[in-house]
Amino acid sequence: MSHDVYESPLAGRYASPYMLHLFSPDMRFQTWRRLWTALARAQHDLGLPVTEEQVRQLEQHITDIDYDTARQREKEVRHDVMAHVYTYGKAAPLAAGIIHLGATSCYVTDNADLILYRDGLVYLRGQLLAVMKNLSAFAEKYAATPTLGYTHYQPAQPVTVGKRAALWLQDLLSDLEELDFVLGSLRFLGCRGTTGTEASFMDLFDGDEAKIDEMNRRIAAEFGFDACFTVCGQTYPRKVDARILNCLSSIAQSVYRMANDIRLLQHDRQLEEPFEEHQIGSSAMAYKRNPMRCERICSLSRYLMADAMNAPMTASVQWMERTLDDSANRRLSMPEGFLCADAILRLAQNVTDGLRVNEKVVDKTIREYMPFLATENLMMEAVKRGGDRQQLHERVRVHSMAATARMKDGEPCDLLDRLAGDPAFGMTRPELDRLMDPARYIGRCPQQVRALLDRIAPLLKDARSADGGVSL
């Protein structure tokens, strides 16, 4: 690593070895060569003047890229694809004259991008499932553990720790469904010529359209695609990029929501993200245990959600059959979108794998508010004993305001004593205490968690743990 040249933090700190390799120059330019080889092989098999020996020589020189030659040639011709055609021809001189036959630059640039994006999405799918697997285990373990619910970030009716995790999990399931849709709808560009008309191949194949279709089918199949776009210009539709980055943004939104909830709950130590033995929380405040991993998830997620705006803006300004103002933007926005999604999911795996529930704190927090949370149920019980619901509601309101005012002065909550002393309720303090068990008020939380886990369980076999260590 050079220390006097800028390096993207996504590469230096956050992304996995797999994703860094996927978008490396070696992977990109070797894929170009594989595409040129596949084109030559298909042309040979379909009767064009491309020899088996030429194809074989191309196959032998896919990985030995002379970057110095390519770099120098690009300086001369100002064209990256033609620089690599030249360099490949130097390595495979017998085939130099047939490399890129009938093709335009987008044959290698766009098809290679589609291959890399497809492989990146498949990898991220495994990472997403790994987060879901961790959350599934967490939700199952705490499915019936009562905790204080919040609406407007104010105390509300009880839920369970597992049910809250199930909310996060359901968002991720939605992301998985979207990702699978994007993967299932990907198409190959194929070799379509300068404006997508395939006119060059009509000349090469003497108007034999069946051979043109077969050539594209063979090339697509070699790279794992079962179909090409029906029509296109010089490039594949840039709406594909918008769909991909929107999918990655959706994952960021979901994980952001989870991480933000954990940050809020770590405030009073109900939940805590992992914290290593020698980890330092603050350079000055040595006692600090900050939710820095969740904060990093939120930070990277904001970047990814903003990055996703590049693709729709680019897709909307593609002039006619081709314009080049997409190129520089896509070189940045697409790989960095993948690297960022990778980083987010790796961090999310780490957090969900070691997420700690401080059950005594959780119980103490909910019990502090139970007298208020149980008032609706107390009213129902009092009505069963002959009380007037509207009158009881007013008495609860008056007593609750008085008890709250007392708590604001630092005194303990005396709501139950007030209700026990109110003849409208006709209930003793021991009777009221028996109604304070938080488990009475969680409704169907355990059953809801189980229903979601049953739905997700068959999917988790494809979960894939993070590749390499996670910089935290």
Tens digits of residue pLDDT in 35-82 = 999 999 999 999 999 999 999 999 999 999 999 999 999 999 999 999
Cα angle 113-119-125, degrees, rounded to a multiple of 5 = 130
Which run of H or E residues covers position 148?
strand 146-151
Banded pLDDT at 250 (limits 50, 70, 90): very high
Structure confidence by residue, pLDDT tens digits, 266-294: 999 999 988 766 665 666 676 667 888 99
- Say yes or no to pLDDT of 114 above 70: yes
Banded pLDDT at 375 (limits 50, 70, 90): confident
Q: Which residues of 378-406 are buried (b: 16+ CB within 10 A; e: fewer)?
A: bbebbeeeebeeeebeebbeebbeebeee
- Say yes or no to pLDDT of 306 above 50: yes
- Three-class HEC string of 164-194: HHHHHHHHHHHHHHHHHHHHHHCCECCCCCC
Looking at the chain, the number of H-run helices and the number of E-run strands are 20, 4
CATH class of 105-277+285-357: mainly alpha
C-alpha distances out from residue 353 to 144, 258, 466, Å? 20, 14, 11
DSSP classification of residue 235: S
Instruction: Tell me where in the chain the CATH 1.10.40.30 domain(s) lie.
Output: 375-435
- Say yes or no to pLDDT of 467 above 70: no
* Separation of alpha carbons 147 and 145, rounded Å: 6
pLDDT at 470: 47
* Separation of alpha carbons 113 and 16, rounded Å: 19
pLDDT at 278: 63
Domain 15-95 sits in CATH at 1.10.275.10
Cα angle 272-275-277, degrees, rounded to a multiple of 5 = 145
Banded pLDDT at 465 (limits 50, 70, 90): confident
Angle between helix axes 52-60 and 25-45 (nearest 10 degrees) is 170
Which one of the listed residues 8, 185, 282, 316 is annotated catalytic? 282
pLDDT at 284: 66
E-assigned strand segments in 292-450? 356-357
Which residues, at least 6 apart from 56, have a Cβ–Cβ distance to it below 8 Å? none
Instruction: Tell me where in the chain the CATH 1.10.275.10 domain(s) lie.
Output: 15-95
Amino acid at 459: L
pLDDT at 472: 44
Which one of the listed residues 2, 3, 152, 267 is annotated catalytic? 152
E-assigned strand segments in 289-392? 356-357
Other beta carbons within 10 Å of 283:
7
pLDDT at 319: 86
* Separation of alpha carbons 112 and 108, rounded Å: 6
Please say whether the beta carbons of 460 and 129 come within 8 A.
Answer: yes
- Catalytic, 2? Answer no
pLDDT at 328: 83
- Catalytic, 105? Answer no
The average confidence (pLDDT) of the chain is 92
* 461 or 65, which is more confident: 65
Banded pLDDT at 461 (limits 50, 70, 90): confident
* Separation of alpha carbons 351 and 342, rounded Å: 14
Please say whether the beta carbons of 456 and 169 come within 8 A.
Answer: yes
Token pair recorded at residue 265: 């709950």
Banded pLDDT at 374 (limits 50, 70, 90): confident
What is residue 146's three-state secondary structure?
A: strand
* Separation of alpha carbons 276 and 92, rounded Å: 54
- Say yes or no to pLDDT of 363 above 60: yes
Q: What value does the mean pLDDT take over residues 325-351?
A: 93
- State the fold for domain 375-435: Ribonucleotide Reductase Protein R1; domain 1 (1.10.40)
pLDDT at 234: 86
Beta pairing partners, 147: 159
Instruction: Tell me where in the chain the CATH 1.20.200.10 domain(s) lie.
Output: 105-277+285-357
Give the residue ranges of DSSP H helices in 223-326: 239-266, 292-307, 310-315
